[in-house]
Every structure is written in structure tokens, then in C-alpha cells.
């Protein structure tokens, strides 16, 4: 077994929720490491900006609007991607939404949205990409969890529940696909300075926030890059990345 670091040169990587935050940072990080990029999100303007940024550093790139809650969107994205590149080597399930509030005061529509994006969206994308990965007997699937999926987070009950579900899904997936030489990595970001976190924490963050002391999206992108470049046969199953001071 070779124990040299895996190169991403020429590999094809798909990132959902790529238009901002951790998704954007990850697309740029994998692109500068030589991967060809497929970027998907619901915001077309921001996606096009990212595509120009990627092409500006010489990355071959396909951008397509995709709402991961719609299976037909996911299927169309995978069809286009396979037509264009012939393979998808890496899937990063990064699209996610979060709303805060006590259960008794929570908005049922927001709760449903979290379940659809955070659980069904991860399932849809994984289900659609897997057959081609199984056929070629290789691939990496990276799911973005949350520290709220490791330890329940006050005021974030439904969000926590969806991220606990992603954890269970990732572990089941890992066991199902290991015989096909497919690696599964679950990354739990702690507090990270992203637009997601800004909207998420509106109703009261679990801790007093000093923006200078929380993680940057690039810190999570580096962790993902680290997992993807492990030697063949080495799988980082679960990584929790917190600011040093963060307790929960």
C-alpha cells in the first residue's frame, strides 16, 4: 500500500452550498490544489462570481443552480457533471440551513426547511452520486456536520437534531461503501465566521461572540483538504474543528 499523500490534481470535486462561507472556501482550496470543480448552490449570482474566481486561478469549472431538496435538481446536476467530466471523485455535502429558537416558539416551516436541506439534501446528493463511484470503485464523500451534531446546542434543537441525523447517516454510509473503496468523512465545524453563522445566531448565540476569536471558513476548508489528501486506504472518519476556547 502506498503511503504517499493523495494528490487532487485532475480530480473532479463537487461542492454544494458553494456560493459562500465554508462551501466557497472549500471550492477555492480544492481548486488551487488542482481539482476540477463543480459548484452548486441556490444563489446564481454568487455562484457565477465564484466561477470567475476559480477560472481566474486556472481552474476548470462547471457551475449550476441546484436546490438539494429537489431530487430532480440533484439528478440534473450529476448528469451534467458526468457528461462534462466523465467522473465525480469527491462530493462535499456542504449545503445547510439553520434557524434558532425554543421548540415552543419555533416556526414549523423553518423546521421543515432544516430537515429538507440538512438531511434529505445530503441523502439526495449522496444517492445520486454513489452509483458512479461504486462503478469505478473509488471516491470521497465529505459531509458537513456541526458541533451541534456532537453535543446538543441550547436554542438549536431542530438544527441539532438534523446534524445528529447527518452523523448517523455518515456512519451507516461509511459501513455500506467501504467494500467499494469509497471513503466517508464527517467534519464538524465549531463557530465559524460565515454568513450562515450570522443569520443562525440572530436569536441569541449560545456564547458571547468575539468575531476575532472564531474560525475562518478557510480553517474548515483546510481540514477537508487534509482528509482528502490522506494516502489510499487511510480514511479520516470524523473530525471536529473548534476554536481553541470553544467549550460546547
Q: What is the pLDDT of residues 115-162, one digit of tens each?
A: 999 999 999 999 999 999 999 999 999 999 999 999 988 899 999 999
- pLDDT of residue 204 exceeding 80: no
Per-residue pLDDT at 209: 61
The tens digit of pLDDT for each residue in 66-75 reads 999 999 999 9
Beta strand pairing call for 90-93 and 61-65: unpaired
**The predicted structure's pLDDT at residue 71:** 98
Q: Give the H/E segment covering residue 92.
A: strand 90-93
Mean pLDDT computed over every residue of the chain:
93
Question: Residues 164-187: what's their mean pLDDT?
Answer: 98
To which CATH superfamily is domain 12-228 assigned? NAD(P)-binding Rossmann-like Domain (3.40.50.720)
Task: Report residue 51 as a C-alpha cell.
Answer: 466561477
Least confident of 3-12, 13-22, 172-181, 231-240: 3-12
Per residue in 35-76, pLDDT tens?
999 999 999 999 999 999 999 999 999 999 999 999 999 999
Task: At 243, list the grid cell.
Answer: 476554536
Taking each helix axis as running N to C, give the angle between helix 217-228 and helix 21-32, from 0 to 180 degrees, rounded to the nearest 10.
50
Strands of the 61-65 sheet, one edge to the other: 61-65, 36-41, 12-16, 90-93, 139-144, 182-189, 238-241
Examine the pLDDT at 213 and tell me if it is beyond 90: no
Nearest partner of 121 among 22, 194, 17, judged by Cα: 17
Whether residue 2 is predicted with pLDDT greater than 80 in this model: the reply is no
Domain segments of the chain as ranges? 12-228
User: For residue 240, what pLDDT is reported?
Assistant: 95
Residues with a known catalytic role: 159
Which residues have C-beta within 8 Å of that of residue 88, sequence separation ≥ 6? 12, 13, 14, 38, 78, 81, 82, 129, 132, 133, 139
Would you say residue 214 has pLDDT above 90?
Answer: no
- Judged on CB neighbours under 10 Å (0-12, 13-18, 19+), 204 is exposed
Full-model pTM: 0.94
Rounded CA separation 32/42 (Å): 23
Amino acid at each position: 500500500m502506498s503511503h504517499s499523500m493523495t494528490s487532487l490534481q485532475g480530480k473532479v470535486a463537487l461542492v454544494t452550498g458553494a456560493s459562500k462561507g465554508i462551501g466557497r472556501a472549500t471550492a477555492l482550496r480544492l481548486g488551487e490544489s488542482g481539482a476540477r470543480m463543480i459548484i452548486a448552490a441556490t444563489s446564481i449570482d454568487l455562484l457565477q462570481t465564484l466561477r470567475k474566481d476559480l477560472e481566474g486561478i486556472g481552474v476548470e469549472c462547471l457551475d449550476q443552480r441546484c436546490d438539494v431538496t429537489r431530487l430532480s435538481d440533484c439528478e440534473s446536476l450529476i448528469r451534467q457533471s458526468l457528461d462534462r467530466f466523465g467522473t465525480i471523485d469527491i462530493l462535499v455535502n456542504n449545503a445547510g440551513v439553520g434557524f434558532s429558537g425554543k421548540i415552543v416558539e419555533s416556526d414549523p416551516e423553518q423546521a421543515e426547511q432544516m430537515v429538507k436541506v440538512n438531511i434529505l439534501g445530503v441523502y439526495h446528493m449522496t444517492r445520486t452520486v454513489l452509483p458512479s463511484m461504486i462503478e469505478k470503485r473509488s471516491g470521497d464523500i465529505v459531509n458537513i456536520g456541526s458541533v451541534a451534531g456532537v453535543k446538543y446546542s441550547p436554542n438549536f434543537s431542530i438544527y441539532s437534531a438534523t446534524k445528529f441525523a447527518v452523523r448517523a447517516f455518515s456512519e451507516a454510509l461509511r459501513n455500506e461503501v467501504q467494500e467499494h473503496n469509497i471513503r466517508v468523512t464527517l467534519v464538524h465545524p465549531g463557530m465559524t465566521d460565515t454568513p450562515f453563522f450570522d443569520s443562525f445566531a440572530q436569536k441569541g448565540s449560545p456564547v458571547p461572540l468575539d468575531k476575532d476569536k472564531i474560525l475562518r471558513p478557510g480553517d474548515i476548508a483546510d481540514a477537508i483538504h487534509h482528509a482528502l489528501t490522506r494516502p489510499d486506504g487511510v480514511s479520516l472518519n470524523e473530525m471536529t474543528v473548534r476554536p481553541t476556547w470553544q467549550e460546547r
